[in-house]
Structure 1
Amino acid sequence: MKKLALALTMLPILSQGQTLEECQHAAEKNYPLIQQYGLIEKTTKLTVANIQKGWLPQVSASVQATYQSDVTAWPDEMKTMMNGMGIDMKGLAKDQYRVGIDVQQTIYDGGVIGSRKRIASEQGKVQSAQNEVNIYGVRKRVNEMFFGLLLIDEQIKLNNDLQTLLAGNESKLESMTKRGTAAESDLLSVKAERLNAVQKATDLASQKKMLQHMLSVFCGIEINNLQKPQVMDDGGSMVAESHRPELKVLDAQIGVLNAQEKALNTALMPKVGVFAQGFYGYPGLNMFEDMMNHKWSLNGIIGARVTWNIGALYTRKNDKAKLQLQRDMTESSREVFLFNNNLEQIQQRENMARYRKLMAHDGEIISLRRAVRKAAESKLAHGIIDVNDLVREINQENAACVQQTVHELEMLKEIYDNKYTTNN
């Protein structure tokens, strides 16, 4: 905790209150997942670079030692004839050795390497889009803390007004008590109500400190004051087109499937390459020489090779059908997301309309409650009502002010939640 507190004291202090957009951008930059953008890009580049190296010569080295139960040998009649001519035909030895190098170079691969590069690039786009989805979710968490902190700030202001009002009436009752025109119990009742307001203020200040601390850590900047957003045009009751990053993920997944479908064509193409083999050992390529002299020798082969594997034809139809099913599943996921997104927009816009209707009467209710409270103060001064009636009217006026604040902030939150829902 000490380290965290020290870190917060080192955060940049902004002279003016932070807007919601500033907090959102700061939180996105501060969120650890932001680092994955660079990591995904680097990983994708390395993967593509490794695939590209498929055009480089493929070199392999081998060392081999064997002992055979039988070897190629001259027929006994020919061996006897050769011995009669003074030629010693030893035949091949059963122990054989080879130290060699094989080199293969692809000349034409039918587009396999290119298709693998495209698939790797599209898969990188999927990872980047998914990371964007995770980071985008940070905005909703900022919204919750931001508007929660704004509500507490407004409640603290209204609580201060309530304390001021109660303190004024307490002062009046104190004078009336000294003159004998009010009972001491009335004074104590108002004083107790004021202390309740003080106690509530202490609780609100504690909540504000906690939420302010959380938002500061989340955004990576010191939060001092917040600027209340202006009421924006909510666009009426029309459902807006969604531009959520989740849709980019689905588009990227379709891109991978399209690249995989193109790769099916490359599996049917012939492959052309050249190769070279060289080895030092026994026996070599000159079999007759090695049958007469058991000596190690250098040997080599160079050539070209054309291969054409038509086995992919057997599964091509099923592979294409499988990819189409995956594409259909992705499109189905898109429809489900848009359906739920539209429902969420409808709910939010209905809530906006509801809060606007409620706000239309909040000002009038406050004016009426204030008038009733002032009348109650006058009645108490003339002994017409008791102090409990006055306290009730004061609390009802304060409750009306709190209600107006709640309605306004809840409507603002619905507007910005709707902005989050559509990413517009």
Structure 2
Amino acid sequence: MKKAVFIVMFLMPWLATAQQPESILLEYCYQQIETNYPLVDKMEVQRKITKLNQRIARSGLYPEVQLKASASYQSDVTDVPFSTPGTTPPSFSKDHYNLSLEVNQTIFDAGRTRTSEQLERGESAIENAGVKADLWKVRAQMEQVYFSILQLQKNLESTELLLADISEQLEMVRAQVENGVLLPGNALTMEAEQLKIRQQKIRIEHDLQASYEVLSVLIGEPITPKVTLKEPNRDVTAGLYEQEISRPELNVFEERREMLDLQKNLASASKLPVVSAFGTAAYGRPGLDMFNDDLQGYWMVGVRAQWSLKSWTNASKKTEVLAHQQRKIQADEEAFRLSVEGDLSRVHRKITQLEEQIELDEQVLNLREQVVEEKESQLAEGVITTTEYLTELNEASRARLQLELHRVQLHQTVIEYLTKKGISWN
């Protein structure tokens, strides 16, 4: 048995890696956050809390049953100083006993119970809206990591392509050195450049590994660099600037306002009396017959009304306080909207900038590739040195990488715009 457990534990990392997909999309990461991120559990816990609190609040509609027992001894009792002829004046015991069962049923509470139940629902709505707002921030954090990985992938691809070009040309240069066309220093220069590019590749691979680890934590699933991240393959720019801001934080403001409205209703209800019916069945001494000093059973039923002058006078003040709190929430919401609009303006400008840069990047790359083709021919003929060729090859590689990075950044900036606006496109 121990051997079997050891084998399973040994194979688990391999099995987890083997089950990983070859590639994933940004939409998949969104879904994993909504499923696996710890904050999601808070919503389920809050649902259970709200359900229990609502049952507690609703209990105000049900009869309240109380069992009471008491025993006492007092220093003095009523003394009857006279009696009719032929009778003995009644005497009263100083020890008293009472066992009673009381039942109270609310008949009218001006909506207090119903409002209390709604308040519990409102508390849950605020909590859940806050969780969704926090999850939205996690989405934004994940997007940054996702697109940083995409940029590193492009950087790695460019580096590998550059290494392949250098390796190919290095073979040709070595042949020319052997034939006496070029000096040995040309081959050494290319070998040094090759080592330098390999160093860059190692750094990129380690950065990729670190970024994948962060992404794994955010989506709650182990992802290795063997899994390729794909760029969003959907056009999400249609109507990009026409849609209204719909950030989850706005729902928090709205739920808080509704909560204050419910508290206003509760304050208004406190101006009215609470009417209830009651019934008591008891056994003890003394009973309702004060002249009977024996233990006896008795009962009574009735209706009572309770009204508090203090609650009535404070209700208007509470309503005024709640109105001020609503104005504070409104001010917070307006400040939040202004902040979001400022961010959207900045991101919009960045989108326009990247679109213009990409057009120029394509032109620059086309020119650089033409120069490299020319330098390749010159190097093959021994007209130029490897240093001159490497200079142009690196420039072309940088131009290609710049174009790819700007394309990724454009995708990232568009997604950032959607996220800041609160638009979910997955």
Shared fold, TM over 0.5: yes
* Aligned 1:171-186 pairs, distance under 5 A: 171-186=171-186
User: Secondary structure of 2:305's match?
Assistant: strand
Match of 1:369 in 2: 368
Match of 1:156 in 2: 156
Paired letter, 1:227: K
Match of 1:208 in 2: 208
Give the deviation of 1:339 after TM superposition. Answer: 0.4
* Aligned 1:356-395 pairs, distance under 5 A: 356-395=355-394
Match of 2:60 in 1: 54
Match of 1:283 in 2: 286
Paired letter, 2:66: S
Paired letter, 1:62: K
Give the deviation of 1:3 after TM superposition. Answer: 8.2
- The match for 2:44 among 10, 13, 38 is 38
* Aligned 1:287-302 pairs, distance under 5 A: 287-290=290-293, 295-302=294-301
Residues 64, 98 of structure 1: 8 Å contact kept: yes
Aligned length: 413
Residues 243, 422 of structure 1: 8 Å contact kept: yes
Match of 1:73 in 2: 79
User: Secondary structure of 1:289's match?
Assistant: coil
In percent, how many aligned pairs have the same letter? Answer: 23
Match of 1:337 in 2: 336
Deviations 1:293-317 (A, max 9, x none): xx32212222111233343331232
- d(CA) in 1 for partners of 2:165, 2:177: 18
Residues 105, 274 of structure 1: 8 Å contact kept: yes
Paired letter, 2:310: G
User: Secondary structure of 1:269's match?
Assistant: coil
* Aligned 1:185-224 pairs, distance under 5 A: 185-221=185-221, 223=223, 224=227
* Aligned 1:313-332 pairs, distance under 5 A: 313-332=312-331
User: Secondary structure of 2:71's match?
Assistant: strand
* Aligned 1:112-191 pairs, distance under 5 A: 112-191=112-191
Instruction: Give structure 2 stretches of 5+ with no counterpart.
Output: 1-7
Deviations 1:148-204 (A, max 9, x none): 111111111111110111112211110111011211121011011112222222222
User: Secondary structure of 1:311's match?
Assistant: helix
Residues 239, 345 of structure 1: 8 Å contact kept: no
- d(CA) in 2 for partners of 1:88, 1:6: 97
- d(CA) in 1 for partners of 2:128, 2:240: 34
Deviations 1:231-276 (A, max 9, x none): 7464689474111111111111111111111222211222221112
- d(CA) in 1 for partners of 2:305, 2:98: 27
Residues 101, 280 of structure 2: 8 Å contact kept: yes
Distance change >3 Å, CA 8–CA 288, structure 1 → 2: farther
Residues 272, 306 of structure 1: 8 Å contact kept: yes
Q: Which has the larger radius of gyration?
A: 1
Give the deviation of 1:383 after TM superposition. Answer: 4.4
User: Secondary structure of 1:335's match?
Assistant: helix
Paired letter, 2:353: R
Paired letter, 1:364: Q
Structure 1 range deviating more: 50-59 or 16-25: 16-25
Give the deviation of 1:285 after TM superposition. Answer: 1.8
Match of 2:399 in 1: 400
Deviations 1:359-386 (A, max 9, x none): 1111111122222223333334444433
Give the deviation of 1:39 after TM superposition. Answer: 2.0
Paired letter, 1:25: Q
Distance change >3 Å, CA 259–CA 208, structure 1 → 2: same
- d(CA) in 2 for partners of 1:52, 1:88: 55
Residues 28, 138 of structure 1: 8 Å contact kept: no
Distance change >3 Å, CA 168–CA 7, structure 1 → 2: closer
Residues 61, 106 of structure 2: 8 Å contact kept: yes
Distance change >3 Å, CA 406–CA 417, structure 1 → 2: same
- d(CA) in 1 for partners of 2:301, 2:399: 94
| Residue 248 (structure 1) aligned with residue 251 (structure 2) | yes
- d(CA) in 2 for partners of 1:68, 1:371: 114
- d(CA) in 2 for partners of 1:310, 1:21: 59
Give the deviation of 1:390 after TM superposition. Answer: 1.9
Distance change >3 Å, CA 351–CA 8, structure 1 → 2: farther
Residues 28, 34 of structure 1: 8 Å contact kept: yes
User: Secondary structure of 2:229's match?
Assistant: coil
- What do you get for the CA RMSD once the two structures are aligned? 2.5
- d(CA) in 1 for partners of 2:313, 2:269: 14
User: Secondary structure of 1:268's match?
Assistant: coil
Give the deviation of 1:16 after TM superposition. Answer: 5.4
TM-score (norm 1): 0.90
Distance change >3 Å, CA 236–CA 99, structure 1 → 2: closer
- d(CA) in 1 for partners of 2:271, 2:327: 25
Instruction: Give structure 1 stretches of 5+ with no counterpart.
Output: none
Residues 109, 271 of structure 1: 8 Å contact kept: yes
